[in-house]
Structure 1
Amino acid sequence: MTATPAGRATAAAPAPARRPRTPAGRAGRAADVLALAVLPLLAALALPAAFAGGGTRRWFGGRAESQRAEAQAAKDAAASAFYELDTAQRDLRISMETITAVDDSPAARRAVADFEALGQRIDQASGRYIQAVDATDLDRDDLEASAASRARADLTAAKDELLNVKRELDRFSSGLGPLLGKAETQLARLAPAVERARQALLAASNALDAVRGAGLRADDLAARLAALAPELTKLNQGAGQHGVQPTLERAERVSREAAAIGAEAGRLPEKAAEIDHRLVSLRTRAQALTTRSGQVDPVLSELRRRFTIACWQDLQQVPEQAAQNVRQAEAKLTEAQAARDAQRWPDATALLSTVRALLNTTDEAVSAAGDRLNRLNAVQKDPQGEIERTRFAIRDAQRLAMTGRTTPDPRHARPLDDAVARLERAITGLEGRHPDYWHFLTETDTVRRTAARVVAQIREERGAGH
C-alpha cells in the first residue's frame, strides 16, 4: 500500500473478505491498521468504531437493528403478559379447588365448566405465544429486517391475545366472590366443627363414667356412644378423604348425638329417683283405689233401692271392672319394679305410664258411682234448681242473639227454640210416680251445651266482622 499527498491510500493487496469474528482477531487487525501510517484519519477512526461493540452480528445498518430491538421489546412484553396470565390462572385454580371441595350446587358446577372453557382459551393463547417465540431467532447474526418486523407483529398479536384472555380471567374471578366466600366460610368452620365433635364425645364418655361410678349401668347410652366410633374415625381421616361438606355434616351430627347422650347420662340419676318415686306413689294409689272400689257396692245398692233402673244400669260393672283394673295395675307395677332393678329405664317408664292410665280409668269409674248418687239426690230433692240453671243458660243465649237486631238470625234462633222445647219435655218427664231423674239430668246437660255452642258461634261471627 502507498500513500499520496492528498492523503488517499491505495491497497497493495486485496481487502479481507470478512471482519474479524472474535475479540482477538479484531485487536490484531486494529494493530495492523495502526501500523500503516499512510491510512487517512477517517479510515483509522472508522475501523475501531466498526469493531468496538464486541458482538458477533453482521452489520446490516440502522433499520435492521431497530427492527430487531422492536421485536425484542415485543417479545419481552409478550413474555410478561404470558407470566401474568399463568400466575393468575394458578391463583384462580386454587380458588376453584376451594369451591369444588365444598360446594356442589348448580352455580358451583357452572363455575367449574366456565373455568374449564377459560382454560382452553388460555391454552390456545399460550400456544400462539410459544409458536411466535419459536418462529424467529432474534439473536441470529443474519436476521433480516423483514423477519424482525414479522416477529414483532406476531409477538405483539400474541401479547394482545394473552392480555385479552387475562381480562376475561379477571372478570370471571371477580364473579366468583359469593361462591368463594361461602366456600371459605365453610372451610373456616371445618376445624372448629370437628373439634366440637371430639369434645362432645369426650364429654359424653366422661358423663357415662360418672353414671357408672354412681352404680348405674346405662347400657343403652353406652351402646349409642359406641356406635359413634366409626364416625369419629372418619372425622380423624379428614376432609381430604371424605370431602368438606360431608365432614361438616358428620361433625355436626356427631356433636348433636354425643351431646344428647351426655345430657341423658347427666339426667340418669334424676330419672332413677323419679322412677322410684313414681313406683311408690302409684303403688299407694292402687291400694287406695282398692279400698274405694269396695265402697261402690253400697252406692249401687242405694241407687237400686231408690231410683229407676235407667239411673244405675250403666254402673253395674264398675266394682268388677275396678277390681280387675287394680289387679292389672299391680301386676304392671311389679314388672316396672323389675325393669327398674335391671336399669331398663325405657321399659320401666312405659310400664308406669300403663299403670297410671289403668288407675285413672278406675278412679273415674269409682267416682262416677258416687257422683251419680249425689246428683240424683240433689235433683230429687230440688229439681227446680236444675231447671232454673238451664233456663238461665237459654235466656242468656237468646239475649245475645237479639243484641243489635230486631229479629234473630235463624241459625241461632232455631237451635235455641229446640233447646227450649227439649227442656220442657224433660220437665214433663219428671211427672209421674217413678220419674227418670238421670234422663232429666242428661237432657238438661244437653240443653246447656246447645246454648253454650250458640253463644260461641255468635261471638266468633261478630269477632270476624260479620
Structure 2
Amino acid sequence: MTATPAQPYSPFEPCTRSAHRPPSPARTRRRPAHDTLALIALPLLAVLALPAAFAGGGTRRWFGGRAESQRAEAQAAKDAAAAAFYELDTAQRDLRISIETITAVDDSPAARRAVADFEALGRRIDEASHRYITAVDAHDLDRDDLEASAAVRARTELTAAKDDLGRVKSDLERFEQGLGPLLGKAETQLARLAPAVERARQALLAASNALDGVRGSGLRADDLAARLAALGPELTKLNQGAGRHGVPETLERAERVSREAGAVRAEAERLPERAAEIDHRLVSLRTRAQALTTRSGQVEPVLSELRRRFSAACWQDLQHVPEQAAESVRQAELKLKEARAARDEQRWPDATSLLSTVRALLNNTDEAVSAAGDRLQRLNAVSKDPQQEIDRTRFAVRDAQRLAMAGRSTPDPRHARPLDDSVARLDRAVATLEGRHPDYWHFLTETEAVRQTVARVVSQIREERGAGA
C-alpha cells in the first residue's frame, strides 16, 4: 500500500492538531531537500516583508478608529491651548511695555493703582500658565499605547486650560482698554522729552555764543556769565537722561534751562544797546539836575511874593521847598556819580538801579519846585475873579443833580445826600472869601474837594444804571 505523500507545513496555516498527539509515521519520514529549503525560505520572506508593511504608517500600534479619533481630538485641544498660551504671553509682554511707559512718567495714585492691578493680573496669568504646562506635561499624546480614555482626559484638561487662558486674556484686554488715558498722557510726555532736551541744549549753546559775541565787543557781562555757568550742572543732569532722574523731572529741568538760557541770551544780545541807553540816561539826568538847580533858585522869589500878597495859610506848606529841592538835587548828583562808576565797571544792574533812584529824586524835586509857581498862579487867578471858580463848581453840582433826577420823581438818598452836602460845603467855602485877608488856598482846596465828591456820585449813578440795563 503506497503511502500518501506528506504535505508541506505552512506557518500561516492554523494548526488543529493536538500538541501532545504523537506524529504519524508519514510525518517522520525524511523530507526531500527542496521541501526543506522551502520551509526555511517562507519565514525569512515573512520577516523581510514586515518592515515594508509598516514603512508608510510609522511604528505606532494600531488600536482602531475610535482610539485614533480621540488622539486627534486631544492633539487639536493641545494645539489650541498652545495658541492661547502664546497669545496671552504676547499680550502680557505688550502690556508690560505700556505699564513701564506709564510708571516712567506718572507717579499719581491712578498710575500706582494701575501697576498694582497689572501685578494682580500677572499672578493670575502665572496660575493659568502653570495649569496649562501641567496639563501638557501630564499627557504624552505620542505614546504607542495611548488608550482612548487617556486621550479623552487629555483633551478635557487641555481644553479647560485653553479656556482659562482665554478668560485671563479677556481680562487683560479690558484692563488695557482702561489704561488709555494714562498711557496717552505718558506717551505725550515721552514724545515731548527728546525735543525738550534738545531745545535746552540749543538754548545753552545760543546763550554761550551770544555771550562770546558781547565779550568780543569789549563788554565783560560777568553777571550773565555767572548765570550761564550756574546752568552747567543742569546740563549734566539732562545728559544723564530721564532713566536716572525721571521723565517729569527731566522735562521740567529742560524747560527751566531753556527759559533761563533764553533770558541770558536775550540780555546778552541787548547788552550793547543797554550800555548805550545807560550812557544816554547819565547825560540826560545830569542835564536835568543842572536845570533843577537853576529852577530851585527861583522858588525863593515866588515865596516872597506869596508872603507879601496872601495870608500865611496860602504859603506856609511851601516854606521848606528851597532847602528840600537843593538837598534832593545834591543827593541826585551823588547817585549820578555812583551810577557812572557802576557803568565804567560794567555793573549794569547797579547802574540801572542808581539811575532809577536819581530819576525819582529829580521827579520829587521838580514837583516841589513847580508847586510854588503853580500856587502863585492859581492864587493870582482866584483873587482877581473867584466867581469863575464858584460857577465852575456849581455847574458840576447841578449837572449831577439833573442826572440823579433823570427818570425819577424823587432822587435816590444815596445820591441826593452827598450832593446836598456838596452844596452846603461850597456855600461855606464861598463865605470864607469875606473879610480883609481871605484864605484863597482853603477856598480852592474846598471847591476841588466838592468837584471830586460830585464826580464820584456821577460815576456811581452811571454804573448802577449800566448794570440795570
Q: Same fold by TM (over 0.5)?
A: yes
Whole-angstrom distance in 2 between the partners of 1:394 and 1:69: 110
- Residue 296 of structure 2 aligns with which residue? 293
- Residue 176 of structure 1 aligns with which residue? 179
- CA displacement at 1:243 relative to structure 2: 2.0
- CA displacement at 1:33 relative to structure 2: 9.6
Q: Aligned pair in 2 of structure 1 residues 136, 320: CA closer, same or farther (>3 Å)? A: same
CA contact (8 A) 1:2 1:12 kept: no
1:100 aligns with 2:103: yes
Q: Secondary structure at the match of 1:217?
A: coil
Q: Secondary structure at the match of 1:464?
A: helix
CA contact (8 A) 1:74 1:156 kept: yes
1:92-137 per-residue CA deviation (whole Å, 9 max, x = no partner) reads 2122212221222333222222211111111011000111111122
- Residue 404 of structure 1 aligns with which residue? 407
1:341 aligns with 2:340: no
1:26-68 per-residue CA deviation (whole Å, 9 max, x = no partner) reads xxxxxx999449x9xxx99x97897455644444333333322
- Residue 433 of structure 1 aligns with which residue? 436
- CA displacement at 1:395 relative to structure 2: 1.5
CA contact (8 A) 2:401 2:419 kept: yes
Aligned partner (choices 88, 91, 98) of residue 91 of structure 2? 88
1:134 aligns with 2:143: no
- Residue 28 of structure 1 aligns with which residue? none
Whole-angstrom distance in 2 between the partners of 1:207 and 1:51: 90
Aligned partner (choices 264, 268, 281) of residue 265 of structure 1? 268
Q: Aligned pair in 2 of structure 1 residues 422, 49: CA closer, same or farther (>3 Å)? A: same
Amino acid at match of 2:161: A
- CA displacement at 1:91 relative to structure 2: 1.8
- Residue 24 of structure 2 aligns with which residue? none
1:410-462 per-residue CA deviation (whole Å, 9 max, x = no partner) reads 22222222222222222222121111111111121122222222222221222
Question: Over aligned residue pairs, what C-alpha RMSD do you find?
Answer: 2.7
1:326 aligns with 2:349: no
Q: Aligned pair in 2 of structure 1 residues 34, 388: CA closer, same or farther (>3 Å)? A: farther
Deviates more, 1:215-224 or 1:385-394: 385-394
Whole-angstrom distance in 1 between the partners of 2:336 and 2:467: 52
Amino acid at match of 1:374: Q
Amino acid at match of 1:240: G
- CA displacement at 1:294 relative to structure 2: 0.5
Aligned partner (choices 211, 228, 231) of residue 228 of structure 1? 231
Q: Aligned pair in 2 of structure 1 residues 33, 298: CA closer, same or farther (>3 Å)? A: farther
Whole-angstrom distance in 1 between the partners of 2:411 and 2:272: 64
Amino acid at match of 1:96: I
Amino acid at match of 2:252: E
Aligned positions, number? 443
Unaligned runs of 5+ in 2: 1-5, 20-37
Amino acid at match of 2:314: C
- Residue 392 of structure 1 aligns with which residue? 395
1:243-297 per-residue CA deviation (whole Å, 9 max, x = no partner) reads 2222222111111111111011111111111111111111111111110100111
Amino acid at match of 1:314: D
- Residue 25 of structure 2 aligns with which residue? none
Q: Aligned pair in 2 of structure 1 residues 253, 166: CA closer, same or farther (>3 Å)? A: same
CA contact (8 A) 1:3 1:10 kept: no
Give TM-score, length-normalised by structure 1: 0.88
Deviates more, 1:72-81 or 1:226-235: 72-81
Q: Aligned pair in 2 of structure 1 residues 312, 53: CA closer, same or farther (>3 Å)? A: same
Amino acid at match of 1:10: C
- Residue 421 of structure 1 aligns with which residue? 424
Q: Secondary structure at the match of 1:10?
A: coil
- CA displacement at 1:13 relative to structure 2: 12
Amino acid at match of 1:292: R
Q: Aligned pair in 2 of structure 1 residues 390, 165: CA closer, same or farther (>3 Å)? A: same
Matches of residues 10-29 of structure 1 in structure 2 within 5 Å?
10=15
Q: Aligned pair in 2 of structure 1 residues 63, 408: CA closer, same or farther (>3 Å)? A: closer
- Residue 386 of structure 2 aligns with which residue? 383
Whole-angstrom distance in 1 between the partners of 2:40 and 2:241: 82
- Residue 34 of structure 2 aligns with which residue? none
Whole-angstrom distance in 1 between the partners of 2:345 and 2:422: 59
Whole-angstrom distance in 2 between the partners of 1:11 and 1:2: 15
Whole-angstrom distance in 2 between the partners of 1:443 and 1:51: 131
1:150-180 per-residue CA deviation (whole Å, 9 max, x = no partner) reads 1121111111111221222222223333332
Deviates more, 1:223-232 or 1:392-401: 392-401
1:191 aligns with 2:198: no
Give TM-score, length-normalised by structure 2: 0.88
- CA displacement at 1:314 relative to structure 2: 0.8
- CA displacement at 1:408 relative to structure 2: 2.3
Whole-angstrom distance in 2 between the partners of 1:13 and 1:252: 107
Aligned partner (choices 244, 247, 258) of residue 250 of structure 2? 247
Q: Secondary structure at the match of 2:468?
A: coil
Amino acid at match of 2:404: A
Identity of aligned residues (%): 83
Whole-angstrom distance in 1 between the partners of 2:292 and 2:50: 136
Whole-angstrom distance in 1 between the partners of 2:418 and 2:55: 127
Whole-angstrom distance in 1 between the partners of 2:16 and 2:39: 12
- CA displacement at 1:196 relative to structure 2: 0.9
- CA displacement at 1:229 relative to structure 2: 0.7
1:293-341 per-residue CA deviation (whole Å, 9 max, x = no partner) reads 0011111111111111111111111001110111111111111111111
- CA displacement at 1:203 relative to structure 2: 0.3
Amino acid at match of 1:396: D
